[in-house]
Each structure stands twice: as structure tokens, then as C-alpha cells.
């Protein structure tokens, strides 16, 4: 009788312990879901405030090493931060100058481009008539039904508002970048103060690793874009594309948006070729150049220049891009990869989140870019 009572007590104790562990596990999952939901809500409704801050934070990481080297030469921090922002401003100004210079040459050929587009449209209408029996008047009526008329004044006002908003955001990015570089020691001290004494070292390691991954990714991406400008420029010039420099710069810049950017740039180039009166052989040439450049980019440029410092598997790369576009649009897609890399580093450093880090990551061994193997800063 005594032994039966003891066994019952042991079984009851085990059941109580299991129920408490299950309750604790369920509570942890609910907390994570709540934090995730609140984070998404904040990101959606605070996009106008947080997007410039996030972009500036990534850019400031890119200039930390340069600012630190200049400070070792007894330059004050305010000056090193200002010089870093000035370099960034020069790069953006040079990019806009090249694009505006090429756009001016477009303006000189507007009439011929309109004539070529009208001819192309007429061919498309004839093809539709021959294939489906819909004449041009019926096609015009269908097009009018599909297009919703919008007031010209409203369109102009909307465009002007977006342009002003873009300029304001650009100014804020430059200001935030300067302030992040100037106050980076204070930010580091803040991370130490909000962390528990036992977690301070881990918090600093997470911050340093995150900055390193963002710097390596963005720095490698910038180098790769410059190489793509050269490759696309040579390829489009050989094919005979007018304004080849413009389309090369455009295709390179759109590489900031992974997967989608290169397809968009090539599609715009093909439309530009058709508008300029290019024939089918030139379009095929553009497609061949795109395929060759993508092959070189995938198997040579990315392994040698960018490396795989972010180390995210393709599934979560695509998920992060789609989710970031839904939340922040194009700025979100640009930030998706480095931010996901930072999330992975954070998960890998916290024991309770390590399963999520494993889920996001890949089994590939981390491979450094050629710049790092040669001892050069990325």
C-alpha cells in the first residue's frame, strides 16, 4: 500500500513538471508571436520615420572603418564623420550626373522614339487583328475601358509630393549617417548599459558581428555594381545599343534589389532598344549579354567580391524580399538581405533563438571574398 502511494506521488509530480514545462514553452512561443506581430505593425505604420534611419544605419556601418582610420591620424570625430558623408554625397551626385547626362541625349531623340513606338504599336495591333479578329477601333475602345482617367492636376501634385518626400528622405539619410558615425561610441555604451552584466560581452559581439556582416555585404555589393557597369557598358556597346552607358548604369544600380532588379533593368533596356528602332537581332543580343553577365556575376563576381558572409538559404532570402517589399516597398527590398543577416547573427548568439538561426541559415561553409583573402578591407 505504501509503495503504491509513493508511485502515485512520483507520477503526479512528473505530470505537474511536464505541464509546467509545456506551459512555459507555450508562453515563450506566444511571446515571440506577440513581439513579431508588434514589430510588423510598427514597421508598417512608422515606415516614413524608420526607413531613412535603417538605410543610414547600414550606410554608417560601411564608413566605420574609414572613420576609425582617420581618427587614428588625430582627426576629430566630427570631421571624420563629415568626410565620410561627403564621400557618400559625391558618389550619389556622380551617379545622378551620369544618368541626367544620358537622359539629355534621350531628349534629343524623342521625336524619332515616338515614331518608332507608334510603328511598333501599329504592328502589335495588326498582329492582334490577324490572330483574334479585333480591329484597331475595338482595341482602342477596350483600352479606354481599362484605363481609369485621372485628373492631370492631381497627377502633377502627387508626383511633386513624392519628389519632395524623396528629397527630404535623402537629406535625412545623410544627416542620420553623420549622426550615427559621430555618436557610435554612445550607441555602444547604450548597448552595454541595457544588457545584463552577464550578457554585455555577448551584446557587443552581436553588434560587432552585425556591423561586420552589413559592411561586407554592402561594400562587396558596391564593388560588384561597378564591375557590372563595365560589363554591361561593353556588352551593350558591342551590340549597338544607343545610350549604352545609361542602360548599363541603370542595370547595375537595380542590382541593389536582388533577383528582381536585374530582370527589371534588362526589360527596360529591351523596351529602350525597341523605342530606338532596334530590330530583333539587337533584342536577342541584349538578352545574350544579360545571360553572359548573369553567368559571370553568379559564378565569378559574387564568390570573389561579395563572398557569402550573410549565409542565408535561398528560401528565406526570397521570403525576406517578399515580406520587406510588402512592408516598406523598394527600400525594404534593398535592406532585406543585410537585415536578415543581422537577424541570423542575433539568433545564433542567443541560445533560445538558435533554432531560428539554423532555420534561416544554410549549410554552406562561410567563404570570404577575394578582398579579404588578400588582406584588404572589404
Summarised one tens digit per residue, pLDDT across range 185-196 is 898 888 888 887
What cell does 269 get?
A: 533596356
Backbone angles phi, psi at 360, to 5 degrees: -75, -35
Contact 357, 214 (CB under 8 A): no
Q: Please state, in angstroms and rounded to a whole number, the distance separating the CA atoms of residues 38 and 148.
A: 37
Question: Please, what is the average pLDDT of the chain?
Answer: 77
Tell me: pLDDT of 88 over 80. Answer: yes
What cell does 198 get?
A: 552577464
Of 63-67, 169-173, 314-318, give the lowest mean pLDDT range: 314-318
Q: ∠ CA 306-256-365 to the nearest 5 degrees?
A: 30
Q: What's the pLDDT at 377?
A: 41
Torsion sign over Cα 23, 29, 30, 32 = positive
Q: What's the pLDDT at 149?
A: 54
Instruction: Pick the more confident residue, 245 or 21.
Output: 245
Neighbours of 335 (CB within 10 A): 22
The domain ranges of the chain are: 220-308, 310-363
Q: What's the pLDDT at 83?
A: 93
The fraction of the chain above a pLDDT of 90, given in percent, is 7
Of 32-36, 160-164, 304-308, 337-341, give the lowest mean pLDDT range: 304-308
- pLDDT tier at 361 (50, 70, 90 boundaries)? confident
| Residue 81 exposed, middle or buried by CB count within 10 Å (0-12, 13-18, 19+) | buried
Tell me: pLDDT of 313 over 90. Answer: no
Instruction: Pick the more confident residue, 232 or 211.
Output: 232
Q: Please state, in angstroms and rounded to a whole number, the distance separating the CA atoms of residues 18 and 234.
A: 67
Q: What's the pLDDT at 375?
A: 46
Q: Please state, in angstroms and rounded to a whole number, the distance separating the CA atoms of residues 167 and 33.
A: 36
Average pLDDT in the 44-49 region?
86
Tell me: pLDDT of 125 over 80. Answer: no
Provide CB contacts within 8 A for 255, sequence distance 6+. Answer: 221, 224, 225, 228, 261, 262, 265
Could you please report the per-residue DSSP string of 251-285? HHHGGGSTTHHHHHHHHHHHHHHHHTT--HHHHHH
The per-residue pLDDT for range 145-181, each reduced to its tens digit, is 655 555 545 555 566 677 777 788 889 999 999 999 9
Instruction: Pick the more confident residue, 269 or 27.
Output: 269
Average pLDDT in the 81-95 region?
90
Tell me: pLDDT of 204 over 90. Answer: no
Q: Please state, in angstroms and rounded to a whole number, the distance separating the CA atoms of residues 232 and 237.
A: 8
Neighbours of 237 (CB within 10 A): 14
- pLDDT tier at 224 (50, 70, 90 boundaries)? confident
Candidates 205, 223, 211, 251; CA nearest to 369 is 223
- pLDDT tier at 376 (50, 70, 90 boundaries)? very low
- pLDDT tier at 16 (50, 70, 90 boundaries)? very low
Backbone angles phi, psi at 65, to 5 degrees: -65, -40
What cell does 283 get?
A: 533584342
Contact 332, 260 (CB under 8 A): no
Amino acid at each position: 500500500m505504501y509503495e503504491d502511494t509513493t508511485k502515485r506521488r512520483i507520477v503526479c509530480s512528473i505530470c505537474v513538471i511536464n505541464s509546467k514545462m509545456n506551459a512555459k514553452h507555450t508562453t515563450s512561443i506566444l511571446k515571440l508571436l506577440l513581439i513579431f506581430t508588434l514589430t510588423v505593425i510598427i514597421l508598417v505604420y512608422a515606415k516614413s520615420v524608420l526607413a531613412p534611419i535603417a538605410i543610414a544605419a547600414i550606410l554608417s556601418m560601411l564608413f566605420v572603418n574609414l572613420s576609425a582610420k582617420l581618427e587614428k591620424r588625430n582627426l576629430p570625430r566630427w570631421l571624420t564623420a563629415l568626410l565620410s558623408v561627403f564621400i557618400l554625397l559625391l558618389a550619389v551626385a556622380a551617379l545622378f550626373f551620369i544618368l541626367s547626362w544620358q537622359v539629355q541625349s534621350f531628349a534629343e531623340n524623342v521625336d524619332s522614339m515616338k515614331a518608332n513606338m507608334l510603328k511598333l504599336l501599329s504592328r502589335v495591333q495588326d498582329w492582334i487583328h490577324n490572330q483574334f479578329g479585333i480591329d484597331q477601333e475595338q482595341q482602342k475602345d477596350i483600352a479606354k475601358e481599362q484605363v481609369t482617367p485621372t485628373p492631370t492636376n492631381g497627377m502633377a501634385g502627387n508626383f511633386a509630393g513624392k519628389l519632395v518626400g524623396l528629397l527630404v528622405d535623402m537629406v535625412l539619410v545623410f544627416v542620420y549617417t553623420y549622426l550615427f558615425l559621430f555618436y557610435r561610441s554612445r550607441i555602444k555604451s547604450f548597448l552595454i548599459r541595457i544588457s545584463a552584466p552577464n550578457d554585455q560581452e555577448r551584446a557587443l559581439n552581436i553588434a560587432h558581428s552585425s556591423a561586420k556582416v552589413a559592411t561586407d555585404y554592402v561594400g562587396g555589393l558596391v564593388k560588384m555594381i561597378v564591375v557590372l557597369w563595365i560589363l554591361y557598358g561593353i556588352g551593350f556597346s558591342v551590340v549597338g545599343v544607343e545610350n549604352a552607358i545609361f542602360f548599363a548604369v541603370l542595370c547595375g544600380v537595380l542590382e541593389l534589389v536582388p533577383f528582381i532588379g536585374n530582370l527589371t533593368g534588362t526589360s527596360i533596356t529591351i523596351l529602350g532598344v525597341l523605342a530606338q528602332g532596334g530590330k530583333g537581332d539587337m533584342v536577342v543580343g541584349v538578352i545574350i549579354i544579360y545571360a553572359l553577365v548573369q553567368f559571370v556575376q553568379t559564378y565569378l563576381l559574387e564568390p570573389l567580391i561579395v563572398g557569402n558572409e550573410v549565409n542565408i538559404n535561398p528560401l528565406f532570402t526570397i521570403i525576406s524580399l517578399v515580406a520587406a517589399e510588402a512592408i516598406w516597398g523598394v527600400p525594404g527590398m534593398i535592406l532585406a538581405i543585410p537585415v536578415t543577416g543581422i537577424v541570423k547573427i542575433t539568433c545564433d548568439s542567443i541560445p533560445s533563438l538558435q533554432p531560428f538561426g539554423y532555420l534561416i541559415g544554410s549549410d554552406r561553409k562561410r567563404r570570404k571574398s577575394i578582398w579579404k583573402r588578400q588582406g584588404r578591407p572589404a
